[in-house]
């Protein structure tokens, strides 16, 4: 049986008389149907949500996972390009309590990672309620519980603990570009890009020089397209591996013994020996080192997977920022030059959507939708509110959050569960609702 069917069968509250203490509950709600959940509700069935559910399960605590899409890990399954691989070695990307299969390569493919997540959900019997898009979540001070409303169907879930696992990549960032309505070519975000095959022989402008933008450019080259890359900011490009080890793994080892400043100096020295001066090709580096920059701003360095060689050879052209778009598929750059392109691909990243639906201002910033408290302390809020996967430290950070949340809920789970089950619900709600 799945989590939805277990744990008191998620007693539906529709004002009907029932033969248990939950059945009489009648909430004053705008929703068409109310569901009492006597366990944590997790919003989001991506890797972070799955990790939280598994850590709770391991401690004997059930949970209900709500997912707006029709599958787990919808970002990976529906909105990533075909050639995508994990940028970090698999040991740094595994979720708690279950390692990757031994026969998986060091850098698993997109399909292998999805396969791993599906096996993970199966092992821990995590069966989300799909097609449940949360439109509102608010703590009811009088009731002492969270009220989570979803659409379509207008179902309200009432719970004691709420775990936000929608993550940093919930919504695509689509910048406003002057003249976009005049441009006759295709303009797509990387969330809608699958392969460079459809762009064979075409001129394509990629906007954004992070890991996705770099890899999309390489994919376009491999499919005989003619890509250009907009680089308007400084960027750290590092080799994916150095001295026979992954750059990330080597960095983590060095940080155990050396300060960030010295590790950055080491990384940049080895990078210069391996890649040369990237500034010669229009890829200037920031003044501060890659790890210090990551700590200060959350900006991740690019791990080169072959794109830099294509830039050096001229197969990928570097362009400055865009001033505006014009008719006849023309792009005007900030230096005054113009050039025509068949398509524009926006590798401009994603953002949190938490401020759109969570009615709370203490834990999450309304500006960027991320926890206000910096890592590693941003996972816990007030009134049973938690966050997982907002650390800007990938799956390692999400795993840390998931473990902390499970430990915290376990510390009060049994006592609070007893108190909740002992409540005379009709009398309680008559008094407070």
- In degrees, rounded to 5, the angle at the alpha carbon of residue 284 between the alpha carbons of residues 201 and 369 is 85
Is residue 431 over pLDDT 50? no
Quick: pLDDT tens for 329-340. Answer: 999 999 999 999
Q: Do domains 8-170+352-432 and 173-350 have the same CATH topology?
A: yes
201: how many CB neighbours lie within 10 A of its CB? 9
What was the pLDDT predicted at 21? 33
* Residues shown for the chain: 433
- pLDDT-derived band at 7, boundaries 50, 70, 90: very low
- What is the C-alpha R_g of the chain? 24
Which of 36, 35, 65 lies closest to 52 in space, CA to CA?
65
Tell me the CA distances in angstroms from 400 to 93, 320, 404, 410, one per residue in order: 12, 39, 6, 16
- Residue 30: per-residue pLDDT: 64
> Could you tell me which residue, 153 or 173, shows the higher pLDDT?
173
Q: Does domain 173-350 have CATH number 3.10.180.10?
A: no
pLDDT band at 34; cut points 50, 70, 90: confident
Of 381, 382, 388, the residue nearest 402 (C-alpha):
388
Looking at per-residue confidence, does 102 or 152 come out higher?
A: 102
The pLDDT value given to residue 157: 94
Contact 68, 165 (CB under 8 A): no
Query: Residues 24-30: what's their mean pLDDT?
Result: 50
Gap between the Cα atoms of 414 and 59, Å rounded: 11
Lowest mean pLDDT among 24-33, 140-149, 231-240, 357-366: 24-33
Three-state secondary-structure class, residue 241: strand
**Within 13 A of 283's CA, how many CA atoms are on the CB side?**
26
- Poorest-pLDDT segment among 62-71, 151-160, 313-322: 151-160
The yes-or-no verdict on residue 12 having pLDDT over 90 is no
Find tokens 């376009």 and name the residue. 220
Extents of the domains making up the chain: 8-170+352-432, 173-350
Q: What is the 8-class DSSP label of residue 85?
A: B
Whether the CB-CB separation of 47 and 159 falls below 8 Å is answered with no
pLDDT of 14 > 50? The answer is no
Q: Tokens representing 261?
A: 């400043």
Q: Look at residue 22 in the predicted model and tell me its pLDDT.
A: 37
- Mean pLDDT, all residues of the chain: 89
Of 144, 148, 146, which Cα lies nearest the Cα of 136? Answer: 148
Query: Is residue 402 within 8 Å of residue 52, measured between CB atoms?
Result: yes
pLDDT band at residue 416, thresholds of 50, 70 and 90?
A: confident
Tell me what the mean pLDDT of segment 157-184 comes to: 95
Alpha carbon distance 185, 328 (integer Å): 8
For residues 357-378, average pLDDT:
92
Write out pLDDT tens, residues 67-100. 999 999 999 999 999 999 999 999 999 999 999 9
What residues contact 374, with CB distance under 8 A and at least 6 apart? none
In which order are the strands placed within the sheet that holds 33-37? Answer: 12-13, 33-37, 155-159, 145-151, 133-140
Per DSSP, what are the bridge partners of residue 242? 245
pLDDT digits (tens, 9 = 90+) for 369-413: 999 998 889 999 999 999 999 998 899 999 999 999 999 999 888
Residue 215 pLDDT greater than 80, yes or no: yes
Task: Give the residue carrying structure tokens 């990790």.
Answer: 51
**CA–CA gap between residue 344 and residue 213 (Å, rounded):** 12
Comparing CA positions, the residue from 352, 368, 217, 240 lying closest to residue 300 is: 240
Residue 385 and residue 159: Cα distance in Å, rounded?
Answer: 11
Is the pLDDT higher at 16 or at 289?
Answer: 289
pLDDT tens digits for range 105-164: 999 999 999 999 999 999 999 999 999 999 999 999 988 999 999 987 789 999 999 999
pTM listed for this prediction:
0.88
Confidence of residue 28 (pLDDT cuts 50, 70, 90): low
pLDDT band, very low/low/confident/very high, at 358 (cuts 50, 70, 90): very high
Q: Which fold has domain 8-170+352-432?
A: FAD/NAD(P)-binding domain (3.50.50)
Over 80: is that where the pLDDT of 429 sits?
Answer: no
* Half-sphere exposure in the Cβ direction for 204 (13 Å, CA): 33
C-alpha pair distances (Å), 371 with each of 32, 52, 68, 187: 32, 17, 22, 32
Cα–Cα distance measured from residue 292 to residue 391, given in angstroms and rounded to the nearest whole number: 15
């Amino acid at each position: 049986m799945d989590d939805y069917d277990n744990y008191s069968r998620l007693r539906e509250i529709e004002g009907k008389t029932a033969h248990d203490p939950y059945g009489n509950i009648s909430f004053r709600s705008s929703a068409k149907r109310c569901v009492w959940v006597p366990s944590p509700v997790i919003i989001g069935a991506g890797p972070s949500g799955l990790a939280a559910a598994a850590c709770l399960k391991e401690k004997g605590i059930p949970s209900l996972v709500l997912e707006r899409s029709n599958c787990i890990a919808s970002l990976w399954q529906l909105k990533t390009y075909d050639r995508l691989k994990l940028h970090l070695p698999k040991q740094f990307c595994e979720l708690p309590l279950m390692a990757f299969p031994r026969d998986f390569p060091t850098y698993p493919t997109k399909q292998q990672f999805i396969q791993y997540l599906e096996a993970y959900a199966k092992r821990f019997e995590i069966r989300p309620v799909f097609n449940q898009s949360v439109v509102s979540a608010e703590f009811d001070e009088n009731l002492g519980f969270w009220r989570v409303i979803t659409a379509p169907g207008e179902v309200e879930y009432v719970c004691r603990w709420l775990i936000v696992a929608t993550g940093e990549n919930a919504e695509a960032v689509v910048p406003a570009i002057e003249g976009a309505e005049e441009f006759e070519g295709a303009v797509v975000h990387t969330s809608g890009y699958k392969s460079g095959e459809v762009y064979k022989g075409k001129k394509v402008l990629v906007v954004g020089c992070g890991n996705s933008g770099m890899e999309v450019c390489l994919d376009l080259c491999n499919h005989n397209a003619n890509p250009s890359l907009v680089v308007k900011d400084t960027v750290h490009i590092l080799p994916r591996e150095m001295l026979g080890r992954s750059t990330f793994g080597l960095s983590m080892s060095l940080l155990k013994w050396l300060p960030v400043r010295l590790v950055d100096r080491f990384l940049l020295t080895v990078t210069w020996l391996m890649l040369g001066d990237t500034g010669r090709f229009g890829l200037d580096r920031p003044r501060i080192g890659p790890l210090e920059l990551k700590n200060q701003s959350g900006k991740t360095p690019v791990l080169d997977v072959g794109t830099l060689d294509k830039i050096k050879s001229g197969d990928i052209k570097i362009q400055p920022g865009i001033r505006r778009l014009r008719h006849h598929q023309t792009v005007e750059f900030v230096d005054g030059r113009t050039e025509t392109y068949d398509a524009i691909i926006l590798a401009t990243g994603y953002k949190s959507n938490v401020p759109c639906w969570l009615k709370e201002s203490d834990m999450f910033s309304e500006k960027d939708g991320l926890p206000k408290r910096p890592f590693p302390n941003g996972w816990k809020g007030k009134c049973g509110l938690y966050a997982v996967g907002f650390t800007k430290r990938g799956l390692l950070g999400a795993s840390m959050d998931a473990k902390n949340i499970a430990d915290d809920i376990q510390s009060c789970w049994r006592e609070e569960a007893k108190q909740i089950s002992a409540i005379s619900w009709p009398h309680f709600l008559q008094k407070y609702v």
